Amino acid sequence: ESWSEFLEATAAVGPIDVLVNNAGIMPIGRFIDEDDAISRAVFDVNVLGCGLGMKMVVPGMIARGGGHVVNVASAVGRLPLADGASYSASKAAVIAMSEAVRDELAHDGIDVSVILPTAVETALAAGISHAKGVKHLAPEDVARAIVGVVRRPRAETWVPRSGGLMVAASAVLPRSVRLGLQRLISADTVLSDADTTARASYEQELRRKIGRA
């Protein structure tokens, strides 16, 4: 219903040339302790919300013979983190869905791009610790990447670019070596060491909206 209302409200401005699916939620904690309603909400917002956006907007793009979809995923979609199982899985799903839809729309003049940022300084990342050598991004960093990919379409864009190089390099390493490197830069505890006090308001608001306060 909200998508229909949005499309009706913006129709007078003109057709949608670029759709950016950016909505996302990130509860953290051990997966086995996660409330089922929270798990479902993560996939409802992060995956199904992204898919619904495409279903609502892309047909109009196809009718006009062109358009661009930009789906904001996450670095953890390629490099999952402990204490963020549902979020990591949801972002991996966004990447896979984007790749499949890109192939489906290859002959319709529609570009589908995926943005993979590391932690961004928003409420979602409140209290999240830093892996060594990986700084948190400002929202403007991701915005610039989105504008850049709209101007020059690319299938996958990492923010920062070094993140993609790091994941590509780690993919060819034995698992034991990869885990050792993650421990070396404290990437394995980025979420488990989060400041729960700093995250309290975000987590409480998240549960309130889901009805699990």
Residues tagged active-site: 87
Residue 198 CB partners (closer than 8 Å, separation 6+): 126, 127
The DSSP string of 5-19 is HHHHHHTTT---SEE
Distance CA 128, CA 106 (A): 38
% helix, strand, coil for the chain, step of 5: 55, 10, 35
Under 8 Å between Cβ of 87 and 130: no
Angle at 29 between CA 53 and CA 25, to 5 degrees: 20
